[in-house]
Amino acid sequence: MVRTSPLRGGGLEFKSRPAHQKGEQMMDEAYKKAVNLVIKNIQKAGRYITAFNTNIDAIVKVNSTSLRINKKTEEYIKKSLSSGFKREIWKIEDLYLALFLSIKRGKADEWLISRKEVYDDIAKRFSPIELRMGGQAGIMANVLGALGVETIVHCAILSEEQCSLFEKNVYAVRKMNGEYKVVPVKDAAKKGIYSTYNWIFEFAKGTEFKTETLQAIAPRDNRFIATWDPKNSKMEIDKDFKDGICGLLKNVEWFVVSGYQLLRERYNGETYADRIKESVSLLKEIRKKGVKIHLELASTHSLKIRREIVKKVFPVIDSLGFNEVEMTSFMEAMSKKVIDEHDSVSLYTGISEIMKKYGNIRRVHAHDLGYYLAITKNYLPTEILRDSLLFSSTLAATKAIHGRVTRKNIKDGLDTPISERGKEMIKKLSNHLNDENFESSWCMELNGKSLSAIATKVVKNPVSTVGLGDTISI
Ligand code: ADP
């Protein structure tokens, strides 16, 4: 979103070229122009707010030595594999079960740690190689801040350690001398409070988890996340933020909300529905003041919680972002089926259905490996929409190469090759839309809406894949 609004009227001439002229060089040219345009205009963007989940990620590199387990754990994994498991970490054996599954499938996954004792045990067993900004709200705030966009971030725990991980241009809300103020986040830290970590276990392709009777070999680089985050798991809103934010919305263009995936079905005396209700009443108040709301989805296991998000949050937002797997699971919550989630036509159909059902949603941005697809209604001209996607692909590639984005290192994202899978997916969508030009223009107008799908830059050996989706959608 930040990339687009300043650029009205600055589209490329990409669309008018004949299909046969397409090719790597022309695509690269389009990427370069889009990035230059956005960077030139970014100062004109209004303020952003990102909420609610900000945390600290402790990065652990997993290898066969750290995966050595005892007989009891081995038996536990075997039993769970044959008789079922809960996808929650109640004891240390559950962590190894999750790692085994994640490595075997080469899939990113996230389970909640359910007891403080297990969190402490993990902290004793594994040493992080790095502490990184975590949580969608924190990651998005840092990308925006690094690009020069003033961003107010919500942190459930404003510890000094947490605040030290923010980039420039990031602010927090604090009550000072009886008045709510927007202050640079580094000056907003509360002394004497401490953060807990979410554990990110990264593994490389070929990593082996092997015992006498079990074997898993990672088919690709990926990660498993063990989350311990009592405040964010309840979507607890910081009091200063909750009470002060509505009076601090001057120049704020977008409120970007995320973190519903961390909710649980039950708490002491409350349920997920109560927690969603509290956040939604804040969203409504903010929206009433003219600020647009973007919701970024994430993998949410509970169907009950997904249904409540669809029912209560979808009607109060203007924009929605997700990946292909998240779309399938939220379509299920809308009692709809996706035929093949790894397919551009299915993604297009799913987005169209969501926008048809929720007329308030004017923008949907979906990402899959190798391509992105976005549709807007009464919001952006097609070429501008496409340029915004080209920019976000460059940002994601930059983050995959360096782990963080700066204005300077964006050029490395630009030098990354464009995905062949992505090109195939765009071709497939062009055929479906029956528009030959779309394959080379990557954008079109359709039934009064702007549609764009682009093949993206995919980095061969990313330093990390955490937070790429968040970087893409803002
Ligand atoms: P997260 O939950 O970490 O934010 P998602 O699963 O939502 O991530 O999105 C990850 C997205 O990142 C993919 O859909 C893909 O578009 C992009 N991506 C993944 N790997 C790479 C890579 N190596 N280079 C560039 N982009 C990537």
8-41 tens-digit pLDDT: 333 444 444 444 445 678 888 999 999 999 999 9
Q: Which atom of ligand 1 is nearest to the CA of 325?
A: 6
Residues lower than pLDDT 70 in the chain:
1-23
Decide: 373 in ligand 1 pocket, CB within 6 A: no
pLDDT for the residue numbered 64: 87
pTM: 0.88
Distance 378 CA to ligand 1 centre (A): 28
CA distances from 160 to 126, 182, 190 (A): 23, 17, 7
For ligand 1, atom 2, the nearest C-alpha belongs to: 469
Decide: 368 in ligand 1 pocket, CB within 6 A: yes
Decide: 200 in ligand 1 pocket, CB within 6 A: no
Distance 324 CA to ligand 1 centre (A): 11
Decide: 400 in ligand 1 pocket, CB within 6 A: yes
Name residue, tokens 């209560």: 312
Residue 220 gets which letter from DSSP? S
Side chain identity at residue 27, one-letter code:
M
pLDDT for the residue numbered 196: 87
For ligand 1, atom 4, the nearest C-alpha belongs to: 469
User: Number of H helices and number of E strands within the chain?
Assistant: 17, 21
> CA 174, CA 184: separation in Å to the nearest integer?
10
For ligand 1, atom 21, the nearest C-alpha belongs to: 458
The pick from 463, 465, 466 for probing ligand 1's pocket by mutation, whose C-beta has the most ligand atoms within 8 angstroms, reads: 465
Residue 457 gets which letter from DSSP? B
Active site residue ranges: 470
Residue whose C-alpha is closest to residue 310's, from 350, 340, 346: 350
pLDDT for the residue numbered 245: 98
For ligand 1, atom 7, the nearest C-alpha belongs to: 469
pLDDT for the residue numbered 14: 46
Decide: 321 in ligand 1 pocket, CB within 6 A: no
In angstroms, the first-to-last Cα distance of the chain is: 6
Decide: 465 in ligand 1 pocket, CB within 6 A: yes
pLDDT for the residue numbered 10: 37
pLDDT for the residue numbered 1: 46
Distance 473 CA to ligand 1 centre (A): 11
Distance 468 CA to ligand 1 centre (A): 5
Residue 204 DSSP SS3: coil
Decide: 458 in ligand 1 pocket, CB within 6 A: yes
Decide: 369 in ligand 1 pocket, CB within 6 A: yes
The pick from 262, 347, 369, 389 for probing ligand 1's pocket by mutation, whose C-beta has the most ligand atoms within 8 angstroms, reads: 369
Decide: 418 in ligand 1 pocket, CB within 6 A: no
The pLDDT tens digits for 260-295 are 999 999 998 999 999 999 999 999 999 999 999 999
Residue 416 gets which letter from DSSP? S
Long-range contacts of 242-247 (CB under 8 A, 24+ apart): 242/282, 243/175, 243/180, 244/173, 244/175, 244/180, 244/181, 245/49, 245/152, 245/173, 245/180, 245/282, 245/286, 246/285, 246/286, 246/289, 247/180
Q: Phi and psi of 276, rounded to 5°?
A: -65, -40
pLDDT for the residue numbered 236: 97
For ligand 1, atom 15, the nearest C-alpha belongs to: 369
pLDDT for the residue numbered 106: 85
> CA 252, CA 292: separation in Å to the nearest integer?
9
Residue 309 gets which letter from DSSP? I
pLDDT for the residue numbered 6: 31
pLDDT for the residue numbered 22: 53
pLDDT for the residue numbered 20: 43
pLDDT for the residue numbered 29: 92
Residue pair 214/100 in contact (Cβ under 8 Å)? The answer is yes
The pick from 412, 468, 474 for probing ligand 1's pocket by mutation, whose C-beta has the most ligand atoms within 8 angstroms, reads: 468
Distance 168 CA to ligand 1 centre (A): 24
Residue 434 gets which letter from DSSP? T
